[in-house]
Structure 1
């Protein structure tokens, strides 16, 4: 009787001693990809590829260059005007006049224009930095999603291998007349369910890889990533979140927008003062046969147009920018604290699963395996214990995935650079359960 149990017992013991999450197995790859053709991508390499080739980041850089060009134009002085005219077509009575006019800006228009252009450059630089952090956060979230998907594929493969062995063992027992064919049918149904889980895990991996390619931008093909999916960050306190609100990209950009509209309002006020135009030249009447100097000055009279409407518009837009900045700060604070709370919740879930649920499921599985080996439990009881363990591990991976997504969202909101955050956050690497 013990010999008939041996094939299934060996299969279950193989899973117990070599489970997917208990060993550091190489990262799973998409079906059809080879390790030699597409080496595993590290997170640092993914960042480099994204910062070099992401089109959104390139667009933000071009916007900064465009703003710098506008700053050059803002500092330009008005061009002089050369005018020549001839009065009378008859040579004997013709009068020729040549004048050079130079507009002179008054009221600090040029300095106000330069200040507004400088503020625009500050905003584009802030947007570029925010986009850089946003790209790195997207890459980080997509990278860990691929890591978790690889762990799921590895786990599903190990589970399918066990299910196949159990199905073969059940088939042999039915052939030997030891058990009812119903047991073989149940084993095959269990195998089909595990095979479906593998197909779903592989599909999720392909989707995660596609999302990672989209986050990185144009570049080499990605078949797998290399990293530790079980790495978890330390909790972030509410005080730390509050301290970083002022440096958040959206808040910083909103405050820079206030300064830009202040500069634009100053420019509109300066436009109330009319510019003058100095004119120098000479005229030569043919009849007199001598040159006469021309000196003139022109000043527009601000009687009908005092630029009042543009000043009012600029001031109201400044008020709007201040209101928007306050609303942005409130929104960022709320979303950041919510992301922090999600991190705490998922970390608590990860800790509970790792320290309590997984050890209990593993203990139950070991007991069922031992009892099955001794003939005290049926195969289906051992299979049920295995399924419980696999579900607990899948839930553990889902909690890890949600933790990584929440961390990436918090980094995006607060403008935390992952490279510098790693030194301050002290991410904790958990042992594989």
Structure 2
């Protein structure tokens, strides 16, 4: 069985969402562990198919006695091989449990992949959001610095009171502080993204679209969580069958050769043994397995209810986020940009005050920030929808 090893080496300097998903699949310790669990389950199926090993016995009788049986003169030696027969279906029951466990581990691997893809999409969106916030902070700092310079020149020319220049310098200082915070946030977001791949060195930047999924019809009953609950119920039922079979009595038969030293004769011997269920009838294990079946059935009902709610919420969140992005892109941000342009022209012409220009800049920054948040929310909602719809 091949050993599973994560991909090594540095991440691409500039990472797209598709690259991030592919790198996570190849590097994530969570996926490696889930794949190893599948391999272990496959090996257990092979092991479950083996029959019980035969037993070799050697029996020496009538030695070191008295009279004619003193020493080894009357020794009888029997060499026999016995085999326990699988007449109660133990082997098939073991195989059934092993196959059910493999199905569970395969679904857990699929869930691990779906969870990882959701987390990568969400953290990629967070990194892209931090990148956009950083770019916005850079632009805000440049505008604030330029405005402070213009305000200083107007104060020197006697067109503005000194208080206005102080106000502009304060806004510029705040913009610098926000820029440094945005830089730290952007670095942290890339580091968290890299941690999903099991590496400590993040990519230099992220680029490209945030959305890679198309809306699709979702049947909650076919979701991974419900399918896992179904498979766990089948495993519980297989375990119950195994425990029921375990109380059945399997005989053991043996065949051997007996040598009588005194006469030199040789003869065959045969035997049959059967356990007596005087004390242990496996009742406790059967009752426990029956309870596990009932628990699995209840878990399945809960998983279906949860999947139905998550599906409705995910679809609603995606639709609401997409509508907000559209409104901001087509109305709020363009209007705020135009208002800022006019305010800047009016201020330069002496028709608007510095406070009006600062308000226009704040409104434009707020609109841009809202658009970044809306795009991030849409990406997060889409990531959750992808997780819910994974099959």
Q: Fold-level match, TM-score > 0.5?
A: yes
Specify the SS of the correspondent of 2:270: strand
Out of 36, 42, 54, the residue aligned to residue 62 of structure 1 is 36
> Cα deviations across residues 391-432 of structure 1 (Å, max 9, x unaligned)?
11101111111221122122223326xxxxxxxxxxxxxxxx
Residue 131 of structure 1 deviates from its aligned partner by: 0.7
Q: For the residues of structure 1 that align with 2:33 and 2:311, how far apart are their CA atoms?
A: 27
Structure 1 residues 113 and 380 mapped into 2: Cα distance closer, same or farther (>3 Å)? same
> Cα deviations across residues 50-97 of structure 1 (Å, max 9, x unaligned)?
111100110101111111111111111100000112221312122211
Residue 233 of structure 1 deviates from its aligned partner by: 6.7
1:282 aligns with 2:257: yes
Question: Are the aligned partners of 1:232 and 1:400 in contact in 2 as well (CA < 8 Å)?
Answer: no
Out of 360, 369, 372, the residue aligned to residue 394 of structure 1 is 369
Partner of 2:23: 49
Q: For the residues of structure 2 that align with 1:383 and 1:282, how far apart are their CA atoms?
A: 106
- TM-score of the pair, normalised by structure 1: 0.82
Residues 86-105 of structure 1 mapped to structure 2, 5 A cutoff: 86-87=60-61, 88-89=63-64, 90-105=71-86
Specify the SS of the correspondent of 1:49: helix
Structure 1 residues 232 and 200 mapped into 2: Cα distance closer, same or farther (>3 Å)? farther
Partner of 1:320: 295
Specify the SS of the correspondent of 1:368: helix
The structure, 1 or 2, with the larger RCO (C-alpha pairs under 8 Å, 6+ apart) is 1
Partner of 2:271: 296
Residue 232 of structure 1 deviates from its aligned partner by: 8.8
Structure 2 unpaired stretches of 5+: 1-10, 65-70
- TM-score of the pair, normalised by structure 2: 0.90
Q: For the residues of structure 1 that align with 2:284 and 2:187, how far apart are their CA atoms?
A: 57
Partner of 1:259: 234
Q: For the residues of structure 2 that align with 1:368 and 1:65, how far apart are their CA atoms?
A: 66
Structure 1 unpaired stretches of 5+: 1-36, 417-433
1:179 aligns with 2:169: no
Residue 328 of structure 1 deviates from its aligned partner by: 1.1
Q: For the residues of structure 1 that align with 2:336 and 2:109, how far apart are their CA atoms?
A: 48
Specify the SS of the correspondent of 1:284: strand
Q: For the residues of structure 2 that align with 1:299 and 1:211, how far apart are their CA atoms?
A: 62
Q: How large is the Cα RMSD of the aligned pairs?
A: 2.0
Partner of 1:116: 97
Question: Are the aligned partners of 1:156 and 1:201 in contact in 2 as well (CA < 8 Å)?
Answer: yes
Specify the SS of the correspondent of 1:56: helix
Question: Are the aligned partners of 2:213 and 2:386 in contact in 1 as well (CA < 8 Å)?
Answer: no
Question: Are the aligned partners of 2:20 and 2:120 in contact in 1 as well (CA < 8 Å)?
Answer: yes
